[in-house]
Amino acid sequence: MLGNERRTTEGKLDGEIMNLKGIKLTWLGHATFRMETSAGKIVIIDPWIMNNPKCPQSEKKVKKVDVLLCTHGHHDHIGDAVEIIKQHQPLVVGMLELCGWLKTKGAKSVSDMNKGGTQTVGGDVKVTMVHAQHSSSAEDGGQIIHTGEPCGFVIESRTA
């Protein structure tokens, strides 16, 4: 070590490969990630894909999604949620208000929650909702809609 390397909480040097035990995690730009569990379930976190300038062109068409995790209502976090919901009808997980609004946009399966709550979704993914410091709203037909408090998720795969 030269003294300027950083170690992770597990003691590994930054840049080392983490063993995800069969989970595939793909960054799709900004705050958007796709997680494929070892059981083949697809989870998309903060679905801003199609109009996200950082998303690779080859990833802009969503082929499959079982669960959408939505942290808050800003366009750069849920910009494609409504279209993905209409195409794939995934389970939508987020704050009560955000899930309620997404139901009015066509979501048939929602699992709303509050901070501190934990649930298993998609059969093998355990999510715990945690606090985030931010605002949360969506624009809908020229109106600003309050979409509940922002949140974060701690995600565990139950098959890993």
Is a pLDDT exceeding 50 seen at residue 2?
A: no
Is a pLDDT exceeding 50 seen at residue 32?
A: yes
Pick the residue with more confidence: 24 or 22?
A: 24
What is the average pLDDT across 54-80?
Answer: 96
Is a pLDDT exceeding 50 seen at residue 1?
A: no
- Report pLDDT digits (tens) over 78-134: 999 999 999 999 999 999 999 999 999 999 999 999 999 999 998 889 999 999 988
CA distance 83 to 88: 9
Is a pLDDT exceeding 80 seen at residue 143?
A: yes
Q: Which of 6-10, 49-53, 54-58, 101-105 has the lowest mean pLDDT?
A: 6-10
Q: What global pTM score does this model have?
A: 0.84
